[in-house]
Amino acid sequence: MRKVLLTSILLVVSFAGFAQTILSGSEVFGKDRKDGFYMTLNIEKKFIEKDWSLFISKYGGVAQSREVFNIAAANISGISPYPINLMTKVTSDQKVKTKIFASFDEVGGNTVSESSNSFIGVEKLLKDFHAFAMQNEDVRLAERDTEESQKNLDRVNKTGDKLARDIEKNKREKEKLLKEIEENRIELEKLLKDQIINKQDQENAHIALEEKQKAFSIVKTRIK
């Protein structure tokens, strides 16, 4: 049962990979308009340019000028046993929608068309690139998701570390306050004791003053 399910999944993936539509069209290269084929991918242009240049470099030296990627003598055996003049352009009018155009000139100046025997090779090349680009996009998205997850982990870890530091700071402040409260209690007890002693001293001083005043009055009376 698992083998049948796996086979079904592989078939679905296979058909999905070849669902990319290859269309006929034309593009201007300098002053010349070239017929060829194009397909559109839902991937940012900057990534497609990098992937496309890498992908076609196995067929020969790539000459790049802005959005144009050409190979003067491309060795693409799946299309022709002879060198091909490959002229391509990568364009985009949307952030995540990129168009790849490719024109294939065989020996004698004949441009591969949809009715040419070589079209099967062209179609395979473009669809192979589509699979290549989508695989790379999946890797980029996975890396992006991993980076975002790592950033989120770093953020919550940083918050956790700050909370731990704040808790330790709070504990230290609590201990300091408890110590100050205890010192304040001891000081208050001493002040209360000192107050009792002072009241006794005041009373004694008052009694002593009264005795001195009485003595002074007696002495003063005798003098008269």
* Residue 65 pLDDT greater than 60, yes or no: yes
pLDDT of residue 161: 93
The DSSP symbol for 109 reads S
- Report CA Rg, the chain: 47
* Residue 62 pLDDT greater than 70, yes or no: yes
Would 131 be classed as within a structural domain? Answer: yes
* Chain centroid, CA 189 distance in Å: 62
Domain that holds residue 67: 22-143
pLDDT of residue 2: 39
Would 224 be classed as within a structural domain? Answer: no
The 10s digit of each residue's pLDDT in 91-128 is 998 888 999 999 999 887 789 999 888 999 999 999 99
Would 90 be classed as within a structural domain? Answer: yes
Would 190 be classed as within a structural domain? Answer: no
Q: What is the CATH number of the domain that holds 58?
A: 3.30.310
The reported pTM is: 0.66
Would 102 be classed as within a structural domain? Answer: yes
Would 199 be classed as within a structural domain? Answer: no
The 10s digit of each residue's pLDDT in 174-218 is 999 999 999 999 999 999 999 999 998 898 988 988 888 888 788
Could you tell me which of 98, 87, 92, 89 has the C-alpha nearest to residue 41?
98
How many structural domains does the chain have?
1
How many degrees, rounded to 5, is the angle at CA 198 between CA 197 and CA 201? 90
Would 39 be classed as within a structural domain? Answer: yes
pLDDT of residue 51: 97
pLDDT, mean over the chain: 87
Residue owning tokens 């002593």: 208
pLDDT of residue 215: 80
